[in-house]
Structure 1
Amino acid sequence: METEKLEGAKDGAVEVEPEGRQDAQEEAPSAEDSARKRKIAIVAAAAAVVLVAAVGIGVAVGMNRPAPVEAGAPAASQAQVRQTGEEKAEESAVVVTVKAEGADAGATKAKVVATGAGGEVVVPETEVAANEASGIGRLSKGRYELHVTAAPVCEDGSSYKLPEKPLAFDVDGKGADARLDVKLERIAAEDMTKEQLEASAAALEESGKPEASEAARAKAESAESVPGSDSAVKRDPEPTLPPSGDGGSGSNGSGGGSDSGSTAPGNPSNPPAHEHSWTPVTKTVHHDAVYSTVHHDAVYDMVHHDAVKEGRIVCSCGAILEPANYEFHLNSSLENGTIDNCGGYYTTSVIVQEAYDEQVLVSAAYDEQVLATAAWDETVTTGYTCSCGATK
């Protein structure tokens, strides 16, 4: 049976009979005609669903299509274009190496502080070992300054001269480490002032080196005093904050315009920044008495002994006799027949022991412990605290 295609329909989608044949069969529709009509109705319904879906897609595409930009209109800012999916700047690790030639493992640690471009503290005072790379924190993109607030101290009391100016550095915001090198000039212990040696002694005491601390204090007693010279080896760890309204950077030190949330000084919604009131933290250090050994030599006395004389009898025969032996001499002469030669005598004295001087020990040599310095207690400042809880 021949059919005609419906105008506007897809190929093979809808079929209709020619007008003449349709009229001929209106009076007695056959079963075949009924089946054909049902098929046409189903195909038409499917075509209607496809048409509605196509219209819906077109509307949705039109709603999401960017509006046309008029000629000469300003372009959208990057912040407006990248409202979603914007990549956040990465923080960078700050690695510091304080180069102090001659500082060994027994030296105390140096101390550093990092501030933003406006002077605000972004990394509080942190200890770093000399000649070693030490991480002190992570910072976002911006410009910063590194302050060395305390130099390392060697066990002999010698220290290092702090840089006159802080070290400026930048963080690129791409995640690369910011590596900083600071070289310090050594100050020999014999060239240090009283105030510098006292600062070294305090640092050694704080690091648990009491003997080295005591030796440094002993050197300080004979060193020249130059008030304020200790700032060459140790400085205030609190850099001065900029005045309000100066357009300084935020806490990350990245710079930029004034804070839109700031208000004028004195406004209750923005009270003045807290100013630290530092209270010293002290402890008592006991120093034992110091003794020295004094040697005493032996003491001698000179004693003089006079010559010793005794009486003698000189016989006329020439014999010199002790008085007790004279009678025996005469009896012997009588028996021997020589008595005629002993007709007389006279007395005299003779030296039986010459005079002499003698060294006599008065006191033996000995060593004596003599008190050089009496025992004493010292009050040492170990740090400072503020009522807000901050310490330094």
Structure 2
Amino acid sequence: MVVTEIPKVTDDMVSGDAVEKEEGKPFVLFGREFSRKQVCAAGAGILCAALLVGGGAYAISQASWTGDSNAPAVSQSKDDEKQDMVLTLEVKADGWDADTSTPVIAHIEDADGKVDFYTAIAANKQVTVEVGKSGTYSVTLIPPVNADGSTYKAASSKVKAGKDDKKTNGTVITLEKVDADKVTKDDLTAIAKDVAAAVKKGDSTLTGDKGAAVAKKFEDNIKKNPNADADAVEKETGKAEETAKEDKSDAKTPETSDNKKNDSGSKNDSGNNGSGNKSDSKPSGGSGNSGSGSSSGGSSKKDDTTAHQHNWVAQTKTVHHDAQYKTVHHDAQYKTVHHDAVVKYVSICNNCGADITGNEAAHFKNSLLNGGNCGSCHEESRTVQAAYDEQVKVSDAYDEQVQVSAAWDETVTTGYKCSSCGATK
């Protein structure tokens, strides 16, 4: 209880001169003002009673914000209690695979620049990102890269923050897929640069071993694209890995959490506890704070082991396929040649009808010597060979080897290996 000394009332204070002199200077007791005249007129007894009542009330009111009293706290309505404000969203990406694709990296900013950070999230799954206060936030996505080198077009959206309510539908952002052979060298290098920038302002999903694993996965998947500039990509993702290992972040926001929680409800799928703090963060001075209280360095270390999530990286080998052929048979080729009839002309004796071709004069002379009358002749045609058609071969029959498909190399996945701990599956 707060005890305040009540000033003594003297004769000088009762006199008229003193009252007039001090009239403009009121007493301030227990947070209330009293004029000199009020002190004199009320009398010490009545004034003390009033002041004790008022002082007690004042002490209670003071204790409500100073904490100097054991007076009961003033209760608040549920509407006045602080609510966790989150962004609820789902990124749809056709062909994205949780084991082999890189995560989606979301850049989240508010209008006044107080919130500006990056976080790694899964695609095709509703997640929540804790932002602290209500309002509209800009969400810009760095597209993921799949194991075959394909990726997606970058996208952005405005998302309103609301209460952390499982019934919230959230915002859905759909990414348009770009096949591996359609992605340019510049596009792939730009993604690597964006990842390096994201790690500098990343939350716990992009710092430490987790951040280094994300950067390495982007490097591996981008370099599988035949259009990638391997040296440029390795340079940018190498920067990201080094930055992540420093475990420093300029992010101006709490952590990212998944909508689904485990059976105990104290941690969500993304590895964060209920308050949004890192479950794998290093404690300061041998101890660290969780969402519900403090824990010793030993228990924090145990949480680190429990919270480890495998980052499965596809292990591949190259299989060569020879060119494929088939045999095509070609028949012999022919053409038809027409031959006209062959005709010759002969001389026929007009008297005896003999064929005297080439011997006309001798025939006539012989006839006269023998008393004959042969002395003239005429020509007649005779067919030596009739007309006919002949099939002439143009080319012989042959077999030809025709290529059905060219030789090619195929990348085959033989298994998966965790980039952090080396486990395989």
Query: TM-score normalized by structure 1?
Result: 0.38
Query: TM-score normalized by structure 2?
Result: 0.36
Which of the two has higher C-alpha Rg? 1
Bigger RCO of structures 1 and 2 (CA < 8 A, at least 6 apart): 1
